[in-house]
Structure 1
Amino acid sequence: MPEPNVDLGMRLYGMMQFLLSEFATQSAPQAAAPRNVVSKEDALDAVVLLAAAIDQPSQQGVIPREHAKHMASLLMVIRDYIQPLPPGFDEDGTDIATADLAEMVNGIHAAKRDLL
């Protein structure tokens, strides 16, 4: 049973901090058995809500634009894994979303290597 004096947000924030620590030390956290609580639709909705939480302070100048673009790009990697993104067309009609996602994933791999 969850501790009553610690709120839901704080517990999940603590989980996020734990995962950040594990990532920084190149540790693989133990995964729990499937909980069957979060649906694909829930995950997609969470991505959109997080995108809004990034966009609003960016539009207000609270978050630097470059930082917001980086966060949004990482979020699109997550979104594409859950459900492929729509095509992202260049001026000539070429779908460049695949190349953009590949560049982001390469950046994630490089950042992970740099932690060592």
Structure 2
Amino acid sequence: MEYSKSIQLISSFDLVLLGLGEDGHIASLFPGMNLSEEKDTIEIYDSPKPPKERISLSLRKINSSDCILIIAKGRKKKEIIERIKMGETLPVTSLFPKKSIELCYFYD
């Protein structure tokens, strides 16, 4: 609860740095989740990956940032990047910051 209150005090971020999951998730926003949350933070009680219970910035709050930088490292991420390029709908493809988005990919 304290985290949520702290986040509400920030109108938007200048930069959000995110990792990219092998399934296309960002933050703790996984494929198949309802991403239309109107709050700044969301509580997750049944995450498909450990830990089961998490707290995350909502997609709305992430998209309110000026810039988003996504880091993807490793050969397993290459597959998800190809799916993104093909237009698959995933949480990462729902990112629309105010100014810019950049995907940086590093091979192992």
If the TM-score is normalised by the length of the shorter chain, which range does it land in?
under 0.3
TM-score (norm 2): 0.27
TM-score (norm 1): 0.26
Higher helix share: 1
Which has the greater radius of gyration? 1
Higher strand share: 2
Q: Which has the higher contact order (CA 8 A, sep 6+)?
A: 2
